[in-house]
Structure 1
Amino acid sequence: MKTLKTILLGLTLLVASTVANAKSIQTATLTKNDVLNAYVNAVIHGKTEGVENILAKDFKYVMYRNDKEFNLNKTQMIESLKASENVEQACTFTTSVVDETTDKMVVKLIMRYDGYVRTNEITISKKHDDFQITRIQTES
C-alpha cells in the first residue's frame, strides 16, 4: 500500500509539473525573432501551428501584381496558410532586417523559385507584451 501511495504521489507531481510547464510555454511572450521564425516556418515549410498567435488583430496583407492590389485580413491569411499546411516550398530563401527598434522590426523575406522571385516585407510590432506581425507587403 505504501508503494502504491508513493507511485501515485510521483505520478501526480509529474502531471502537475508537466501541466505547469505547458502553461508557461503557451503564455511565454513572443520575441521579434520568434514571430519571424514562426512565419517563415509557416510559409516555407508549411508548419502552421500557432500561426494565429503571430498575426495581430488588425493585420493587413497587401500583394501587388502588375497594376493590381490584393488585400487579405488576418482570417483570410490564416486560411491561406492552412491551405498550404505541410507543403514544403521548392525555393531558397533569405531574410534580412531592413529596420529595427525596440518595439518594431521590418524584415525582407526573399524566396527564389526557378525563374521567379517573391519578396515579402514583414512588419513586426509590439502589441501589448508580445510581438506580432501587423503588415506584410508582397511583390512578385
Structure 2
Amino acid sequence: MKRTAIGAAALLIVSSAVTVGTGGSASAAESCGYTTVSIDPTVTHKGAGTPAYNNGLTSFRGRVFQLRTEPAFDYSQGNIASGYRSGDKVWVDISVNQGKSWTQCGPYYRDRTYFAYHKYKWMRVCVNVDGYTQCATNGNRTGPDGSKWWYDD
C-alpha cells in the first residue's frame, strides 16, 4: 500500500475517549485511533535500543509490554509484545498537560490497542493482567506523580 493511501486511511479516524483527572479511572472500553495492525515497515517501539529506558520494555507478571510507534505518521500503539493470555487488557493513557490529566484509550481485550496520534502528547501503555494493573516503567518524561511517559515534539 502506498504511503498516500495509508495517509488517506489515517484520516478515517474513529475516535472517542474518556478524559479523567489524575485520580480517576475509566471503566468503559473506548476507541482511539484507526487500526490495530502495523501500517508501515518502520514500526518500532519507544526506547528501542536504549538501555537507559530498558529498551522501552516493561515486564509484569509474565508479560512484556511496550509503546509501539509509527514515526512516519506520528502514531503510537500499546502492545503486549510477549506473554499475552486471554483476558489480558491493554490501553494507552494520553496527556496533553504533562500528566496532570489524561485520556484513556481502551481497555482492549487483546494484545494491542489502536494506533493513536502522539505528536505533542505524553503517552504511556498500561495493562491489566491476572487482576493487577501496571503502567510502563520507562519513558523520556516524568509525570507529577513520578510516573513515566513518552513524549514526541
Report the TM range for the smaller structure's normalisation: under 0.3
Tell me the TM-score normalized by structure 1: 0.26
Tell me the TM-score normalized by structure 2: 0.24
Structure exhibiting the larger radius of gyration computed from Cα positions? 1
Greater share of helix: 1
